[in-house]
Structure 1
Amino acid sequence: MDWFILALLISALIFIPLEKLYSKDPQQNILRPHWRTDLSYFFVSHMLVQFILIFITASSSFLIGWAASTDLQSSIQTLPVAIQFLLAVFVADLGQYWLHRFYHVVPWLWRFHAVHHSSTHMDWLAGSRIHFVEILLTRTAVLVPLILLGFSPHALNAYVILVGIQAVLAHANIRINGGWLNYLVVLPRYHHWHHARHKDYMYKNYAIHLPIVDMLFGTFKLPPKEWPTRYGIFGKELPSGILSQHLYPFKKNDVNHQATTKSGPLDK
């Protein structure tokens, strides 16, 4: 609970003023529609991530026994912490890229990931809207390999901090031009296009941290200066509220997959 309150206060104190000063979409009120739902998600997401971290850390001695190569672990552990951190970010993003891509193309996974894409507003809270099943899958799938590869606790902690910052920043309603940084690190405009209600971007910009990962696999797409004008999923909208949205993927009338939906207007 202390971690949740601290994370919420720090995020609010940093990003609410930034969104007021440099907003991409000006808002009359700080509290936009569905803010209560996303605040609930903020709480659930942070609590779940903490439990996952505690569980994986407690299980680290068991996991080490599954390591593919002790020599590889030793090689990584001899690297400076800064290099370990950069390598961990790249390795994690490779794994997240493919899992994220599967979320979009495998229908039963899309049902859960659609919750994240259901928000029609992008701001510092929007990135917290993630189904608990997706949180469990993603965090476990990313953190376990990093432990198996032998990255030091300092490098892992630095990576977790980066995830917390970048997840908020990438969804924030902040107009950052970025320049050459757009090709080096995922910034708001890059990730906003991934959330855009635009048929040309349904399967683009999967990387969480590094655009080079999208470049490697042919899914990088970023216009020179434009920002998307509409966000959300195609076709039938999800119900409102965190409880209804968490139950929705388990119902038969689940949200249409992006690739197969025929209803709903498409941006040109």
Structure 2
Amino acid sequence: MFDAIQDAWNGLNGWLFEIAVQPLLYATGLMAWAEDSFDWMNFFLFGLVQVAVVYLICRPLEAWKPVERWPDRKDVRTDIIYTMLTRLGILPLIAFVAFSAMNSWFAGWLADVGWMPPTLEMVFPVLRENAWLAFLVYIVILDFGEYWRHRLQHALPWWWALHSIHHAQQQMTFWTDDRNHVVDDILGALWFGGLALLIGVPPEQFPLAVTLLRVAESLSHANIRLSFGKVGERLVVSPRFHRLHHGVLNPGDEGRNFAVLLPVWDWIFRTADFRRDHFPPTGDAEAPDVLAHGGWFRQQVAGLRRMGLALIGRSAS
């Protein structure tokens, strides 16, 4: 099943490259970049598919039963810019180049030392015989890792200085999922990618895992008055469950509902809030105005400044 999906994807990518990119490279004398361009187009197309899937799922839901309506959606438009830069713009290109270089170095180092890191399928052979079971196990482990990354984003002052850009949004929609500082995104990619490499997520399953968690995160940020009921709320993170996480914090409140996909982690580590039919306003009362209402560039600069102050022990307010 996973191999069939991978083959179909490769076929689509190859077809688009042949009819669109390759002729352009030939006409401009840049055929030496053909291999890199093919890989980059694959990366771009994957981001485009993610944006399309999320939009088709979340936008109708927000139009159906919104929590809030705003006459001026300027801050929402800023979040759309975040998404386009993160999924389709220069930021994925930088990440692609960096990760390609890191992966090549790591593979070369492993070959030099002659060591093969163990994977879950090596430790539990039963996973080799059932690709879907293996996929579910990978999702659970990756989600567990994301829970603890999120906890650290709130617990470490310098990381919170970056992550507070995400929490400052007072007009939260599904676009808000990508409202992050560039440094925060890089740290998140290293965390997620490193864990996936450590447990041996197969290349054909990794894009599906990313897409599943991406859709779950976007839906959880959606501006929709929706809960999954008493039982469902304890199985999958809902927009109501995550909105409680984004609710304006009281002084001394350390946060709640950190899970990305599975609320069980909040349940186990006592950070869960299952209050139903409660949809608080979102935002960070202590954040400067630029983090709530500024443009992308101003927020990036402010985030770096606040992180620097936090690192030297000064207030980031």
Report the TM range for the smaller structure's normalisation: 0.7 to 0.9
Within 5 Å, give how 1:88-103 maps onto structure 2.
Answer: 88-103=138-153
* CA distance in structure 1 between the partners assigned to 2:174 and 2:120 by the alignment: 41
Aligned to 1:244: 298
Does residue 62 in structure 1 map to residue 107 in structure 2?
yes
Task: Check conservation: 2:259, 2:266, Cα contact below 8 A.
Answer: yes
* CA distance in structure 2 between the partners assigned to 1:140 and 1:10 by the alignment: 24
Identity of aligned residues (%): 26
Distance 1:70 1:99, change over 3 A: closer
Aligned to 2:160: 110
Aligned to 2:221: 171
Does residue 83 in structure 1 map to residue 133 in structure 2?
yes
Which sits farther off after the overlay, 109-118 or 82-91? 82-91
Within 5 Å, give how 1:224-235 maps onto structure 2.
Answer: 224-228=276-280, 230-235=281-286
Task: Check conservation: 2:120, 2:200, Cα contact below 8 A.
Answer: no
| Superposed displacement of residue 11, structure 1 | 3.4
Matched positions, count: 256
Task: Check conservation: 2:236, 2:261, Cα contact below 8 A.
Answer: yes
* CA distance in structure 2 between the partners assigned to 1:142 and 1:4 by the alignment: 17
Per-residue Cα deviation, 1:187-214 (whole angstroms, up to 9, x for no partner): 1111111100032864211111110011
* CA distance in structure 2 between the partners assigned to 1:214 and 1:225 by the alignment: 19
| Superposed displacement of residue 225, structure 1 | 2.4
Q: 5+ unaligned residues in a row in structure 1: which ranges? A: 264-268
| Superposed displacement of residue 129, structure 1 | 0.6
Task: Check conservation: 1:249, 1:255, Cα contact below 8 A.
Answer: no
Does residue 188 in structure 1 map to residue 239 in structure 2?
yes
Within 5 Å, give how 1:254-265 maps onto structure 2.
Answer: none
Aligned to 1:35: 76
Q: 5+ unaligned residues in a row in structure 2: which ranges? A: 1-43
**Aligned-partner residue type, residue 119 of structure 1:** Q
Does residue 124 in structure 1 map to residue 174 in structure 2?
yes
Task: Check conservation: 1:194, 1:205, Cα contact below 8 A.
Answer: yes
**Aligned-partner residue type, residue 250 of structure 1:** L
Higher helix share: 2
Per-residue Cα deviation, 1:41-74 (whole angstroms, up to 9, x for no partner): 0012214457646754771771893764368646
Q: Among residues 174, 198, 205, which one is paired with 2:257 in the alignment?
A: 205
Indicate the RMSD between aligned Cα atoms, in angstroms.
3.1
| Superposed displacement of residue 7, structure 1 | 4.0
Task: Check conservation: 2:246, 2:282, Cα contact below 8 A.
Answer: yes
| Superposed displacement of residue 237, structure 1 | 2.3
* CA distance in structure 2 between the partners assigned to 1:227 and 1:79 by the alignment: 44
Q: Among residues 19, 24, 31, which one is paired with 2:62 in the alignment?
A: 19
Task: Check conservation: 2:53, 2:215, Cα contact below 8 A.
Answer: no
| Superposed displacement of residue 164, structure 1 | 2.0
Per-residue Cα deviation, 1:219-240 (whole angstroms, up to 9, x for no partner): 1112132221x21112242410
SS at match of 1:78: helix
Distance 1:3 1:82, change over 3 A: closer
Larger radius of gyration: 2
Aligned to 2:25: none
| Superposed displacement of residue 163, structure 1 | 2.0
> TM-score, structure 2 length as denominator?
0.70
Q: Among residues 215, 226, 249, which one is paired with 2:267 in the alignment?
A: 215
